[in-house]
Amino acid sequence: MLFHNSLDFAQKLDAEDPLGAYRDEFHFPKMHGKEVIYFTGNSLGLQPKRTQRYIDEIMTDWRELAVEGHFHASKPWWDYHERLAEPLAKVVGAIPKEVCVMNTLTVNLHFLMASFFTPTPDRFIILCEEKAFPSDQYMLQSQVRWHGLEPEEAIVTLKKRDGEHFWRTEDVLSKIEEIGDGLALIFMGGVNYYNGQFFDMKAITQAGKSVGAKVGWDLAHAVGNVAMELHNWEIDFAAWCSYKYMNSGPGNASGIFVHEKHLENKAIPRLEGWWGTKKETRFLMKPQFEPMPSADAWQVSNPPVLSLAPYLASLEMFDEVGMYALIEKRNRLTTYLEFILKEIGREVNGEFEIITPLERGCQLSVFLHGEGRPLFDFLMKNGVIVDWREPNVIRLAPAPFYCSYSDMYQFGQLLKRGILSKTANG
C-alpha cells in the first residue's frame, strides 16, 4: 500500500479498520482534556472497560457467599484459573493442558528452572542473549549459584556484531553448535525488550534440541504481540507476564507453558504445593503429592481470583478477535508508523534510526540522533505517552487493540513540532 502523511489518509485507514471499534473498549488517560496517544502497551496495557464487571462479579460473590464462593460463586474460585487456559492456549499456540496462570513472571521462571535446569559436571552452560532484561539476568545468575556454579563460567551471552543493533539467527545457531554437548539450557526473550526483535524461536529451539539442551523462553514482550506455536515448536517451557499486550493490569498474574511431553513425567524435579495436586483428591488432604496431568501441577497455591479476573476479561477480547487479525493490523499500523517517522525525519532534516529489525512485533525502538531527553519531555507534556531508554532511545509500541492510524499521524505532527520549536528557540 502507498502511504500518505495526511490526516485524511489516516482517517480513511481508521474507517476501514475492522478492529477499530475495539478502541472504545478501553479507558484512555486524558491530558489537556484529550485522550493521550498511548505508545507504552509494551510496558502496561490500557484498562479494558469490561474489566470492572469481572472484578465486581467476584466482589459480589465474596460479599454474599464468603467462603462458599470457592464452590458456589457464579464462576467458582477453586477452578477459576481453568477458564483462562483455552483462550490463552490459542494466543501462544499450545494445547490447553500445557498452559496455566499463576504467580508472577520471575517467580514462575524460578519454578520452571527448578524443573528444567538440572546441570551435570559435563553439561551446565546456559545460553542467553546479551543484556537480557535485568530480572532474567538476576534469575539466571541466582539459579547458577544455587547449583554451586559461577555465572562467569556457566552463563554464555550472545553478542551482536560490531556496529549492529540486532542479533543474527545464524550467529545464534553457530554459538549453539560451538557449545554443543556442554549446553544444558537455552533461555532467551522471545521478543527483546530493548530493540523489539522477534527471535526465530522455531529455528533456535530446534538447534538446541539437536545438541540435547532444554529450551525455555521469556515471552513477556511476545505474548499477545506475535504469532507463536509453542507446542509444535517443541519448546520445553515458557513464561510471560500479562500486563503488557495482554492488558490485565499492573504487576498481574503470569502465565506458564510446559510442553505436553513433560506432563506425565513423574520423575521431573518440581517445587510442589497443594494446588498442583489432582483436583479430584485435593480436599482429601492426602500426605503424598499427586500431580495434575497438566501445567497446573506447577501451581503451589490456590488461584488469586481478583488478579485473574482482569486477565480473563482481556482474554475474552483476544478470543473474539483472534491473533491473526491482531497481527494483520499490527503489521500495517507499525509500518505506517515507520513511514511517518521517515517522513518527519525528511521534513526536519533530521535522522531517526530505527534499530528494530523487520523480524518484530509492534514495537519500534528509535535512536533520536541529534535529539535528546528534552524531545521526550516535550512529547510527554503534549499527550504522547512514550518510553525513554538510555542512552537516547524511545520505544514506540502501537498496540493494535486500541491505537489508531490517526494516532500515528498526530504523533508525527507533534514530533515535528517538538523538533522545530527547539530549533526556533535554539
pLDDT, tens digit, 9 for 90 and up, residues 379-425: 999 999 999 887 788 999 999 999 999 999 999 999 999 998 865 55
pLDDT at residue 340, rounded to an integer: 97
What is the chain's percent helix, strand, coil content, to nearest 5?
A: 45, 15, 40
pLDDT at residue 423, rounded to an integer: 57
Name which of 251, 246, 228 is nearest 238 in CA terms: 228
pLDDT at 35 over 80: yes
| Residue 38 three-state SS | strand
Cell numbers placing 254: 503470569
The string of DSSP codes covering 216-275 is EEE-TTTTTTS---TTTTT--EEEE-SSSTT---TT--EEEEE-HHHHT-TTS-----GG
pLDDT at residue 368, rounded to an integer: 81
The pLDDT-based confidence of 220 (bands split at 50, 70, 90) is very high
In the predicted model, what is the mean pLDDT of residues 270-297? Answer: 94
Q: Express as a percent the part of the chain with pLDDT over 70.
A: 99
pLDDT at 40 over 70: yes
> Taking the CA of residue 147 as centre, how many other CA atoms within 13 Å lie in the half-sphere pointing to its CB?
26
60 Cβ neighbours under 8 A, 6+ residues apart:
none
Domain ranges of the chain: 7-48+322-425, 80-321
pLDDT at 373 over 90: no
Question: Are 218 and 210 contacting, i.e. CB atoms less than 8 angstroms apart?
Answer: no
> Taking the CA of residue 65 as centre, how many other CA atoms within 13 Å lie in the half-sphere pointing to its CB?
17
Give the pLDDT confidence of 282-292 residue by residue, as tens digits.
989 999 999 99
In the predicted model, what is the mean pLDDT of residues 223-237? Answer: 98
pLDDT at residue 342, rounded to an integer: 94
Question: Are 290 and 103 contacting, i.e. CB atoms less than 8 angstroms apart?
Answer: no
| Residue 207 three-state SS | helix
Name 369's bridge partners: 351
Cell numbers placing 52: 470492572
Which burial class, exposed, middle or buried, applies to 262 when counting CB atoms under 10 A from its CB (0-12, 13-18, 19+)? middle
Question: Are 108 and 102 contacting, i.e. CB atoms less than 8 angstroms apart?
Answer: yes
The pLDDT-based confidence of 1 (bands split at 50, 70, 90) is confident
Name which of 174, 164, 167 is nearest 190 in CA terms: 167
Give yes or no on whether 7-48+322-425 and 80-321 have one common fold: no
- d(CA 97, CA 41) in angstroms, rounded, equals 28
- d(CA 5, CA 327) in angstroms, rounded, equals 23
Greater confidence (334 vs 350) lies with 334
Note the pTM of the prediction, 2 decimals. Answer: 0.96
Question: Are 166 and 136 contacting, i.e. CB atoms less than 8 angstroms apart?
Answer: no
In the predicted model, what is the mean pLDDT of residues 238-267? Answer: 96
In the predicted model, what is the mean pLDDT of residues 182-205? Answer: 98
pLDDT at residue 359, rounded to an integer: 97
* Summary mean pLDDT of the chain: 95
Cα 195 from chain centroid (whole Å): 14
Give the pLDDT confidence of 309-320 residue by residue, as tens digits.
999 999 999 999
Question: Are 141 and 187 contacting, i.e. CB atoms less than 8 angstroms apart?
Answer: no
- d(CA 102, CA 200) in angstroms, rounded, equals 27
pLDDT at residue 349, rounded to an integer: 85
pLDDT at residue 369, rounded to an integer: 73
Q: Please say whether the structural domain 7-48+322-425 has been given the CATH code 3.90.1150.10.
A: yes
> Taking the CA of residue 249 as centre, how many other CA atoms within 13 Å lie in the half-sphere pointing to its CB?
18
pLDDT at residue 425, rounded to an integer: 55
pLDDT at residue 407, rounded to an integer: 98
Least confident range from 142-151, 196-205, 207-216, 342-351: namely 342-351
User: Which one is the CATH code of 80-321: 3.40.50.620, 3.40.640.10, 3.75.10.20, 3.40.50.720?
Assistant: 3.40.640.10
pLDDT at 296 over 70: yes
Give the pLDDT confidence of 123-134 residue by residue, as tens digits.
999 999 998 999
> Taking the CA of residue 146 as centre, how many other CA atoms within 13 Å lie in the half-sphere pointing to its CB?
12
